[in-house]
Amino acid sequence: MQTVGSDTIDLYNIGDTEFGTLREMLYRETGVSLSDSKRALVCSRLARRLRHLHLSSYADYIEHLSQRDRGSELQMLVNCLTTNKTEFLREPHHFDFLRDVVISEARKRAETGAPRRLRIWSAACSEGDEPYTIAMTLLDNLPKNESWDVRILASDINTEVLSIAQAGEYPMEKFAPLPDDWKKKYVRRGTGNRTGLGAVSPEVKQLVTFRQINLMGQWSHKATFDVIFCRNVIIYFDQPTQERLLQRLSERLNKHSYLMLGHSESSPWLTQSFESLGKTIFQRRGTAGASRPAVARPTPKPQVVASAKPPQQKRASVQQPRSSLVRPATNLQSHNILAGQTYVLRKPGEITTVLGSCVAVCLYDPECGIGGMNHFMLPSQSVDAGTSARYGIHAMELLITNIMKSGGERSRLVAKAFGGANLLQLNFGAELSGIGKQNVAFVRDFLKTEEIPLVSEKLGGVQPLRIFFQPHNGRVIVKTLRSTKEIAKRENSYQQTSAKKARNTGEVTFFNEPSAADMRR
């Protein structure tokens, strides 16, 4: 492999073979179809990457992509070649429709007893302008005294733009399209070394959850939505890929919900499942989940598959000794997790944790033996319900996503859940009552909504638990602990910290992988 060592190297021309290979890689990964006219664009966007890697040709770059670190470099290829044009209040008629129709209809349904709830997905959120504009529209038009439960899922395949979106900080001129009163209410001006920058307010940010989602891959959620924004996406896809994506999106819309496309986007297939309302606004016909016309599928990406397990191991039982725990003699490596952490294993091993009012969900794919466990607590009942629920959603989606990245199949996941004892009330008084019960209710509701079977559980009660989970065979050993005060003290400290952060920022930052020190038992 040659490296850059001469000014004569030309990175602004690419051969037919190399262009074809890179084009096929991008298509398989993202569904984006590049025409021959995009050669110059490919070169201009990848030349800097090749210089960074000290590579002298696109053949060398393709060889680099084929090496062990292909996954991380493939993501860099996607970041370079995907288009991310975005701005606040882009195509304002869509946000007018959100205000005048979607919100109006939701409030009318609430008057007849329906939940005050809205779910919106910004399926190609880029740097965050679109989901933040959605959030501002909702904040400006939903009465604060009606206690609406609003959640906006914002996703993109490009990790670089997602980092910008999550930060929510931009040059002040980027906010120019927003009305002046919105800028006053929802934008914080920077001072000192942040002069010239503006930050989206915590009130706006707390409504939005960002996720990396490949629209062509498995989706880590099974939620349905009242509105899906998928603007300026399908124009980059060929017709079979467009039809496949539109079908999948239609299956995630509630009855009579809406799909927003970009100003130049359409597809003949749309008329079979949607009614056009004009201005690239489409309403779902019939009920969610109804049968759809068969469509062609793009060539699937190769999947990482671990060794299969026998079918009879799909539902392993929970073993719970009555008094003392006699652990089986094994050479399995053990990984201990603390509150706010997750851990996933793709080879034989054991994950452990201690629970009081917190809950732990053990998820695993019984066919390939890949799975993991999280450990979390919702902030408190005093924190806004929408913010509180997002803590659990972050914990669950992080676990699901990491299992899928390790090779597990989303559709095969099964769950076992533990914890949620009434420990804090017993040790710290009535003001902390109900937190364990709230955690249990969230877990059951989430798994039901996401259609993940809950095959075993030990939830509630008044005693702390020690959990030993072996994802490779689905086995869980539960030990009931006698001492409660130290566990309750630790959980109370964690609960107060998480509730304070929820009130102050609306952000969730607890779900990091455990450090080496944390993993020592």
Residues recognised as catalytic: 45, 156
Closest to 292 measured CA to CA, from 258, 259, 269: 269
376 with 419: CB under 8 angstroms? no
CB 426 within 8 A of CB 488: yes
Q: Which residues are CB-neighbours of 195 under 8 A, at least 6 positions away?
A: none
Q: Which two tokens stand for residue 322?
A: 């009555």
Q: How far is it, in rounded angstroms, from Cα 412 to Cα 370?
A: 11
Distance CA 33, CA 298 (A): 11
- Amino acid at the residue 285: R
Among residues 372, 367, 369, 453, the alpha carbon closest in space to that of 414 is found at: 453
Neighbours of 284 (CB within 10 A): 23
Residue 384 CB partners (closer than 8 Å, separation 6+): 206, 502
E strand map for 393-453: 414-419
| Euclidean distance between CA atoms 464 and 466, whole angstroms | 7
Distance linking the first and last C-alpha atoms of the chain: 45
Tokens of 425: 């009330």
360 contacts 373 by C-beta, under 8 angstroms: yes
344 CB burial (10 A radius; 0-12, 13-18, 19+): buried
CA distance 160 to 153: 17
